[in-house]
Amino acid sequence: MNQPLSSPFAVPRPQRSTALRWLLPILLVLFFLAILIWLPWQARQMESNERQEQLIADTLWVEQTIRFQMARDEESLRQLGQEINSGRLQHDQLHDRMARILKNGNELLRVFWLRPDGHLVATSDAQPTAVPLSPASQATMELTRKTRSAMYTQPEARPGDPGADPTEVLMDYHVPLYRGNEYLGDLVATYRTSALLDEMVPWWFAQDNQVTLVDRDDKVLARRAAAGPGHGVYTHKRALDLAGASVRLVTDSVKSAPKLLPNLLVGSVIVLSLGLLWSLVALWGHISKRLAAEGALRQQVSFRTAMENSLVTGLRARDLEGRITYVNPAFCEIVGYPAEDIVGRLPPMPYWAPEAMEEYQSRFASVLAGKVTPQFETFFQRPDGERIPVLVFEAPLVDNNGKQTGWMGSILDISDRKRVEELNRQQEEKLQSSARLATMGELASMLAHELNQPLAAISSYTTGALNVLGRAADNGTPVDGALLKPALEQASAQAQRAGQIIRSVHGFVKKREPRRQAVALPALLDGIRTLIELQARQRYVTFQTELPAGLLPVLADHVMIEQVLLNLTRNAIDAMQNVPPHQRLLTVVASHDAQANQVSVAVIDRGHGISEEVAQRLFSPFFSTKSEGMGMGLNICRTAIEFHGGALTYSANPQGGTIFTFVLPAAPVVATEEI
């Protein structure tokens, strides 16, 4: 049997398996060695980058510190310039203000004011001395005059400058002064560049870095090196943003390049082991916190869901497009629709009533515009057609980043409140009607006496007329009409007077719905004047009114205001029954407050006044100082005035007695229709 020929280059299978077994460990070792070589280099590079980034960040912080202080000085100088322009400062005040600016920091050498001709007006120096400007500063002064903008001069050494070191580099800051279009000169502040570094570079930064100010040509203007010169390894340049001057801040770290880590293998293993252990601990802590947070979140969600389901207040969430994103069971119960029928829908909503569709659309347009009414009343329609009055509160919905995502609304079913309000209104009407009837009961006896006079007069005049007719018939002579006319006219006048009294009482007592309309106070008083004078004559009280011409009408229900006036005037008449007759004066005064657009009515008596004990319970229901009183008169009066949006108050009359005052809204001049 022939054996297959074998290739001379073929490797036996056992040798190939052994090579593969060794190849993986060798590759792993080589990979580990590569990691050990790469890690220190990478760590050194990262440390170097961190040092450079830290230097850049610190340099930026120092630059911002310098600019912040110089900006404070600039703002102080601009404010001082504005006060100079306004001419409010005297010379002594100007010197004090300049000296106060120097106290903000030691970087300023002096502050002075030069006129256009170079004359020194004021300076912060204790001994004013003329300081000649350098050519660069003079050029800057001319440039600020033309541009009306504050500028710095290029820093330069000024050996002849008084008060400064001969080798010190100075820099001027010019603020042009203008009063209108008149150029008043420049307000100049001189900076010491060395003081900028000494005052504004913190000590810890100066201990690690050499800090230098250079100009555009890299010429050194000032230097601070507390720990010696820098090594030139970590450096950074940062330009100071100074109008008109080119100044750069240069930092040079005293630190050298980082060295390779010693004991690389041991250190790497320890660091990697500690890192792995810390990662496991951190991961376990993170997992524990996450599980605890998820459990707390589930508990909060369950609690919130239970709370929302137990609320009787409906909750509705909408997005910025007006789409409903959430409703709670209380809202579904109010509108009568399940959540799946309304969540996710855009307006119009199924619970909108057809007759209020325009109102709903207007509110929806406001929502789309980002404007909502925080609180308003409306009504919703249930599927069976029932209208439900509701009170709606709207507030914006924001996420955890503070961005608005929609609107949250709280809806209250106020059906019960409306029913209570209607019941209270009906009860109030009954009380008012009872009060009117009680008032008429008190007036009944006086009405009988008052009506007796015109009826007696009518009887007398008609009897006389009948006598004249009888005598004419007996004598057979014609009747003289001129003789009968006066008697008949007097009888007619007395009959009209009696009818007017009866109509006034009838109009006051009859029950009807309150109606607000424009009511003229003179006409209203004329309508009840007979009733007021009827009571006044019984008590020998003089009644008068003071109504200005052109008094605006009030927006009110005339019957309710008639009742208020009758109650107040009756109380005033009763309060004067024990004073001498010549002092019994009842006055009704009205006036108009144009600023508040209100009409004020005062009922003034000169009676016994109101004691402090009575004043505390004056408006309480069923409290009365009269043995036969019901104690409801003043309470109903105040309720009626507050119904119109006004107020009823009282005060002592300086001449003795009491002044009751109520205010009512004035009706618009053209508003004569019922509202």
Residue 372 lies in a domain: yes
Residues 668 and 544 in one domain: yes
Examine residue 421 and state whether it is found in any structural domain, yes or no.
no
State how far the Cα of 140 lies from the Cα of 305, in Å rounded to an integer: 72
Q: Are 69 and 105 in contact (CB under 8 A)?
A: yes
Going 477 to 481 to 487 to 493, the CA torsion angle's sign is positive
CATH number of the domain bearing residue 409: 3.30.450.20
Higher pLDDT, 50 or 584: 584
- Give the per-residue pLDDT at 554: 92
**Which pLDDT belongs to residue 440?**
59
- CA 39 to centroid of chain Cα atoms: 60
The single-letter code of the amino acid at 290 is: R
Please indicate, yes or no, whether residues 138 and 236 belong to a single structural domain of this protein: yes
Chain-centre distance of CA 182, in angstroms? Answer: 43
Same domain? For 225 and 105 the reply is: yes
The pLDDT value recorded for residue 295 is 84
Do 251 and 381 lie in one domain? The reply is no
Q: Is position 604 within any domain?
A: yes
Q: Note the pLDDT tens digit of each residue in 593-609.
A: 888 889 999 999 998 87
381, 413, 445 - which closes a domain:
413
- pLDDT at residue 5 above 70? no
Q: 320 and 239 in one domain?
A: no
What one-character-per-residue DSSP string does 22-39 give? Answer: HHHHHHHHHHHHHHHHHH
CATH number assigned to the domain comprising residue 538? 3.30.565.10
Most confident residue range from 231-240, 396-405, 534-543, 657-666: 657-666
Round to whole Å and give the CA distance between 12 and 28.
25
d(CA 83, CA 73): 15
Residue 326 and residue 211 share a domain:
no
DSSP string, 242-263: ETTEEEEEEEEES--PPPPPSS
Angle at 557 between CA 556 and CA 563, to 5 degrees: 115
Run of H or E including 554: strand 554-556
Predicted structure pTM score: 0.37
Distance CA 153, CA 242 (A): 9
Q: Say how far residue 461 (Cα) sits from the centre of its chain.
A: 75
Which range, of 185-194, 261-270, 538-547, averages the lowest pLDDT?
A: 261-270
Could you tell me if residue 432 is inside a domain? Answer: no
The first and second tokens of residue 599, run together, are 């009409």
Calculate what percentage of the chain has a pLDDT beyond 70: 78
Q: Which of 231, 248, 232, 187 is nearest to 62 (CA)?
A: 248
Give the helix/strand (H/E) hosting 660.
strand 658-665
Q: What is the pLDDT of residue 7?
A: 37
Tell me the residue range of the domain where 335 lies: 311-413
Average pLDDT, the chain: 79
Query: What pLDDT does residue 12 have?
Result: 45
**How high is the pLDDT of residue 85?**
87
Residues 219 and 335 in one domain: no
d(CA 436, CA 635): 13
Question: Are the beta carbons of 411 and 392 closer than 8 angstroms?
Answer: yes
Q: How many CB atoms lie within 10 A of CB 208?
A: 18
* pLDDT band (50, 70, 90) for residue 256: confident
- Two structure tokens written together for 81: 């310039």
Kindly tell me if the per-residue pLDDT of 631 is higher than 70. Answer: no
Which one is predicted more confidently, 4 or 190? 190
Order of all β-strands in the sheet with 245-253: 220-224, 209-214, 245-253, 235-242
Q: Which residue has the higher pLDDT, 524 or 130?
A: 524
Residue 42 lies in a domain: no
Q: What is the pLDDT of residues 186-212, one digit of tens each?
A: 999 999 888 888 888 888 888 888 899
| Cα–Cα dist 526/590, whole Å | 14
**Residue with the larger pLDDT of the pair 510 and 113:** 113
Tell me: pLDDT of 357 over 90: no
**DSSP H or E segment with residue 519:** strand 517-519
Decide if pLDDT at 672 tops 60: no
For residues 156-174, average pLDDT: 82
Binned at pLDDT 50, 70 and 90, residue 300 comes out as: confident
Query: Do residues 109 and 244 share a domain?
Result: yes
- Is 26 inside any structural domain? no
**Backbone phi, psi, residue 361, to 5°:** -65, -40
**What are the backbone dihedrals phi and psi of residue 477, each rounded to the nearest 5 degrees, phi first?**
-105, 155
Q: What is the pLDDT of residues 636-660, one digit of tens each?
A: 788 788 888 888 888 888 888 889 9
Query: Angle at the Cα of 214 (from 67 to 106), degrees rounded to 5?
Result: 45
Q: Which residues contact 160 (CB under 8 A, 6 or more apart)?
A: 132
Residues 536 and 643 in one domain: yes
Place of tokens 């507390």: 226
**Residue spans of alpha helices (H) in 103-208:** 135-147, 193-200, 203-208
Given this model, what pLDDT does residue 595 score? 87
pLDDT band at 54 (very low <50, low <70, confident <90, very high): confident
Residue 423, domain member (yes or no): no
Which residues, other chains included, contact 143 with Cβ-Cβ below 8 Å and sequence gap of 6+?
Answer: 151, 244
Under 8 Å between Cβ of 431 and 635: no
Report the alpha-carbon distance of residue 645 to residue 664 in Å, rounded. 7
Closest CA to 409 of 302, 359, 335, 340: 335
User: Residue 254: what pLDDT?
Assistant: 81
8 A C-beta contact, residue 632 and residue 640: no
Last residue of a domain, one of 223, 255, 287: 255
Tokens representing 372 are 């909502």
pLDDT band at 23 (very low <50, low <70, confident <90, very high): low
What residue type is 285 in one-letter code?
G
Checking if the pLDDT of 355 tops 90, the result is: no
Q: Calculate the dihedral angle through the C-alpha atoms of 436, 438, 441, 447, rounding to the nearest 10 degrees.
A: -30
Asked if omega into 348 is within 30° of 0 (cis), the reply is: yes
Residues 380 and 237 occupy one common structural domain? no
Residues 459-495 pLDDT 10s:
767 877 787 777 777 777 777 777 777 777 777 776 7
What does the pLDDT read at residue 4?
39
Instruction: Give the residue-averaged pLDDT of 540-561.
Output: 88
Nearest Cα residue to 94 out of 105, 104, 81, 107: 81
SS3 label, residue 373 = coil
Q: Is residue 135 part of a domain?
A: yes
pLDDT tens per residue across span 380-427: 888 888 888 888 888 888 888 888 888 888 888 888 888 887 787 777
pLDDT tens readout for residues 77-94: 999 888 888 888 887 888
What CATH number does the domain containing 75 carry? 3.30.450.350
pLDDT > 50? residue 673: no
Which sign, positive or negative, has the C-alpha torsion 609, 613, 618, 624?
Answer: negative
Residues 6+ positions from 381 with CB-CB distance below 8 Å: 351, 352, 353, 354, 387, 388
Q: What is the largest CA-CA distance in the chain?
A: 191
pLDDT band at 150 (very low <50, low <70, confident <90, very high): very high
For residue 317, which of 344, 296, 357 has the smallest C-alpha distance?
A: 344
Q: Do 246 and 327 fall into the same domain?
A: no
Higher pLDDT, 458 or 340: 340
Indicate the range of 105-119, 380-394, 508-522, 610-624 predicted with least confidence: 610-624
- Structural domains of the chain, count: 3
Q: Do 315 and 181 have their domain in common?
A: no
pLDDT band at 258 (very low <50, low <70, confident <90, very high): low
Give residue 143's pLDDT. Answer: 92
Contacts of 265 (CB under 8 A, 6+ apart): 36
Per-residue tokens: 625 = 């100082």
Structure-model confidence comparison of residues 513 and 210, the more confident one:
210
Q: Of 209, 236, 255, at which residue does a domain stop? A: 255
